[in-house]
Structures are given as structure tokens and as C-alpha cells.
Amino acid sequence: MPVENMPDPLWAESFRWESTPGTDLDSPAAQLVRATVESDEITLTLGRRYTYPGYIDAAGEHGTPRTNGPRGGIGTLTMKLVELEQTPDAIDALACLDTTQVSTLLDGQYVLPKQSPFYVLHAYRVSARLAEPSTQPPDSQALRETVVPKETHPLSGPPGRSARPTADVFGDWEITEFAMSAAPEDRAPCLEWAEQRWGGPNPPAPTRSASEPPAIEPFYPGW
């Protein structure tokens, strides 16, 4: 079946961000990092055509090629922007992802998270460089592939904010790195953050059964 004719998969995943003190999650640099991380998660769960405006062109080959097809997603992905550095022509960041509260529906069951930080806590390095403004028209195929997924559950958030951007937040920036990092210096701040969330070095046992979906918390800060 052509991809444009495939039915929309389950989509009920909210994104919640935290940051280190002094980091403005609504600054242009932080928005670029957030949009990159969120678009990558959307690629994994739904496919690239559902990502945010401008992501396909900005990411190019730097992004998640790994996807097993439209498996959908439900729950709450909580993240922290722990490092953000910007110069006039460069952005470098470190983001932590806690995936314990997101799941997929498989054979009628909502997959439970593994009880090890190795599997459910991830550190990502994100870098972008300012490119020369293009004089070429946008890639019509890239524009055609950007589709807003249909929410199977309502996603709520702060008043006046949306769950996803409606405009291109990437501008003339090109994503030059998006990679999971196993470096101790990158995992350390993520582990420290996760331990505060979990109350210990390992995630707590799920309070739901596999027949119940994870909770969908309000997105934050949104767009």
C-alpha cells in the first residue's frame, strides 16, 4: 500500500521538557533542539513524513533512519535539556530522554518498560550549523511528506500553546549531529537527573498492567 494511503497509527504521545537553570526552552536555539529531538521520536514511532515543518530539510542524513514502520506511540516522553551552547553560527546541546512512561500497542498489550537505565534512559548529542541561505526552491517532496498525525487521544498543555509547531523553527540551520551518546560525561548528568525522578538508580516498577496504557501528561512547554 502506498505510504500516503496507509491508515494513521496510534498517536497519543506528549512531550515534556525540563532544563537546567538559566536555559530558556523557548529561545530559538532551544526550540531547534527540542524540535529535532521530538521529530526524531516521531520518526521512530510514526515515520518521517509526520515530523515538524522544516525538519526533513534541516536533518538531511543526520537523524534516525531506524524505524520498523508505523508502530505508533502513547504516553509521556520526559526530557531534559542539560547543556545548550550557541555561537552566531553553531548550536551544540545535550538532551536526556526518560522513556519509562511511553509505550506501543503490540498484540493488544501496551509494552511495559525494562527495569534498567541502559534501556530506558538515553543521552543525545545535538549539533547544528548555520548554512548559507538557499536560492533553490524548497524540495516539494519534503513538503509533501510532512503530515500532521491524527491524535487518538487529546493532548493538553499550557493555555494558548500547541502540541507541535505550525511553522519552521529550523530556518537556515542544518543539523550536523544527532546521535545517542554512551560517553560517561554525557550519561552522568542524565543518570543524576533520572535518579531524582525515579527515587533511585533504577526506574520504579510500573504501576500499570500491560492491558493499561501509560498516562498521557500535559505537554510542556509546547509551541
List of long-range contacts for 178-181, beta carbons under 8 Å, 24+ apart = 178/36, 178/40, 178/59, 178/62, 178/63, 178/64, 178/124, 178/125, 178/126, 178/127, 179/124, 179/125, 180/122, 180/123, 180/124, 181/94, 181/123, 181/124, 181/125
Query: What number is the average pLDDT over the span 69-96?
Result: 94
What pLDDT was estimated at residue 11?
Answer: 85
Find the range with the poorest average confidence among 60-64, 154-158, 211-215. 60-64
Query: What number is the average pLDDT over the span 181-209?
Result: 97
What pLDDT was estimated at residue 133?
Answer: 66
pLDDT digits (tens, 9 = 90+) for 144-166: 456 787 766 778 899 999 999 99
Query: What number is the average pLDDT over the span 65-70?
Result: 61
Query: What number is the average pLDDT over the span 17-41?
Result: 98
